[in-house]
Amino acid sequence: MPARNDEKLMRVALAEARRGVGQVSPNPAVGALLERSGRIIATGYHRASGLPHAEVECLAAAGNRSLRAATLFVTLEPCSTTGRTPPCTEAIIASGIRRVVIGAMDVNPAHAGRAMAQLQAAGMEVKSGVLAEECARLNEAFNKWIVTGQPFVIAKCGMSLDGRLTRLPNESRWLTGALARRSAMGLRAEVDAILIGAETLRQDNPRLTIRGIKGVRQPWRVVVSRSGNLPAGAHLFTDRFADRTLVYRGKSLRSVLTDLGRKKITSVLIEGGGEVLGQAFDAHLVDKVQFYLAPLLTAGLVVAVGGKGAADTRSGAHLAEPQFTRIGPDLSVSGYPRWSATE
């Protein structure tokens, strides 16, 4: 099959995989499809941790069809060990499929490269690396956590053009428009935890829930505080998701993230305030930036990102792969901070 057709079908598998984003942690999001004679005969994706993996879902969807002339496309190297479910390689080999096309290789040390070897030993033709970068990017949080034990950290903020937040009495705290806020809500739906500082809790009394998106689970809500002196009546402690709230008192941000990783929290969205975001940048803990800039200037003392700051321009956080997207009247800025050529 021509390479361009493999890529076209892998994009369909990627679309399937995205259906599981935010639902499968601490597992990776994976999609699969079966193709025969140029036609897609079945698709599947990993729906939740503990449920069948994408490959098994896809094989089940094919029913009693003969698969000897079919090709299986899967966005991530199939698992080859027994966990909460049996190895997917066993089901693939038993199906009679003769060709498997893989997107990204699994970075999990328990799996990396094993599936390819097992499938090839069973006489299958195996092709890997089709849209590998896109397939790997889909699971960037899982890939970091499974190798390092540390969650993938996204710094998110909505700010004025001069990097400020308003705190005026009786004023809406929103600087950005509805479309930018909807985009930010989508971020919440994809992560395992949302983290804020104590002052944000005191000033804003946020809910940190997901609104306007159905069928997603509520992320953990994490508050870091020096004193632990927090308002007992805050939404985070009294609403129906109160059991999804964690408080860390007197702990460094690095140690908090390490403990969250131990709890199998693979991704953390830091929503502020400026002091916590500043700590994250000062300690080089941020993996990805997602800022929303409103088309206004407010001035004032409340900065969006505080901290000690960089010693000079060269040592600041330079964004790799920056993306600038207009969202309604606002500007979305995202990228991957790099503090030196070696990071």
Calpha distance 142→149 (Å, rounded): 10
The kind and range of the H/E element at 330 are strand 330-338
The answer to whether 43 touches 78, Cβ cutoff 8 Å, is no
Tell me the angle at which helices 274-282 and 253-262 cross, rounded to the nearest 10 degrees.
Answer: 80
* Count of residues making up the chain: 343
> Could you confirm whether 55 is annotated as catalytic?
yes
Amino acid residing at 259: D
3-state SS string for 71-99 = EEEEEECCCCCCCCCCCHHHHHHHHCCCE
The answer to whether 55 touches 28, Cβ cutoff 8 Å, is no
Q: Which residue has the tokens 């029913």?
A: 63
The answer to whether 264 touches 291, Cβ cutoff 8 Å, is no
- The DSSP letter of residue 298 is -
Task: State the catalytic residue, choosing from 16, 35, 55, 77.
Answer: 55
The answer to whether 323 touches 332, Cβ cutoff 8 Å, is yes
Closest CA to 48 of 100, 3, 84, 6: 84
Q: Order across the sheet with 125-127: list the strands.
A: 39-45, 31-36, 71-76, 99-104, 125-127
Catalytic residue positions? 55
